[in-house]
Amino acid sequence: MTLEILTSDSLGTVRHGFFTRRGGASSGVFQGLNCGSGSSDQREIVEINRARVAAAMNVPPSHLVGVHQIHSATVVTVDAPLSEKPRADALVTATPGLALSVLTADCQPVLFADADAGVIGAAHAGWRGALDGVLAATVDAMEALGAKRDNITAVIGPCISQRAYEVGPDFIDSFLAEDPYFARYFANGMDDRMQFDLPGFGLNRLRAAGVGHAEWTRHCTYSDPDRFYSYRRTTHAKEADYGRLIATITL
């Protein structure tokens, strides 16, 4: 099956892609393009999947770079392929030929570009990372490389949507303790539960960081099992493990 790559016109001519699960070599619960080496999928199969992504991005597999994601606000600046993955949740570069990548399965994959300055970024932003500032930190790191924040485009790819993201009181309290304004990203659910708007919150954080343009592709990972992996859907189905989607961008 051919790879399915979602793109945004807003990122212009900068090569990028939010890859769906279609077109991969994995089987079973990982059926498709599982790019997560942290999953229990066969390592050789994951490497085949990653090599397909690298080929689609027109880079060698060694130049498809990522990080060991820890739900933090840590950003690394890279100018060469990485021998080991640093513990972080975002990458930025001004070096052509490197494809920055993040892995997700409900969290937000966010791709950034200031095409005029030749600076790009990629961030993994779950609720914790988004609340702690990973998106603003990515913009700061891009600016340190010469980007202008009002010339940065940021696109949120497939992630869990509000209708699928039920949370409890403790979760809500974490946000309200930071800023009561964040209540607007919660809608009433059943009993004491609420529905959290993760991409809406991500867009708020990007705009607060001063980017020139921010958008969400409006794809829900939970609601489309044929195209996307979803940690929450896997949990509800009591499956043993789940695949990871990859998003990547290169100069």
Which residue range forms the structural domain that includes residue 136? 14-161+197-250
CA separation for the pair 191, 188 (Å, rounded) = 8
Q: What is the pLDDT of residues 159-218, one digit of tens each?
A: 999 999 999 999 999 999 999 999 999 999 888 899 999 999 999 999 999 999 999 999
* Any domain includes 185: no
- Tokens 């969400």 locate to 216
Residue type at position 59? V
What pairing do the DSSP bridges indicate for beta strands 166-167 and 153-156? unpaired
Domain presence at residue 168? no
Whether residue 204 is contained in a domain is answered as: yes
Question: Model-level pTM?
Answer: 0.96
Q: Residue 36, class by beta-carbon neighbours within 10 Å (0-12 exposed, 13-18 middle, 19+ buried)? A: buried
pLDDT digits (tens, 9 = 90+) for 105-138: 999 999 999 999 999 999 999 999 999 999 999 9
Predicted pLDDT of residue 1: 67
* 87 found inside a domain: yes
Residue 136 lies in a domain: yes
Query: Tell me, what CATH number does 230's domain have?
Result: 3.60.140.10
Q: Please indicate, yes or no, if residue 92 is contained in any of the structural domains.
A: yes
- Domain tally, the chain: 1
Quick: pLDDT tens for 230-248.
Answer: 999 999 989 889 999 999 9
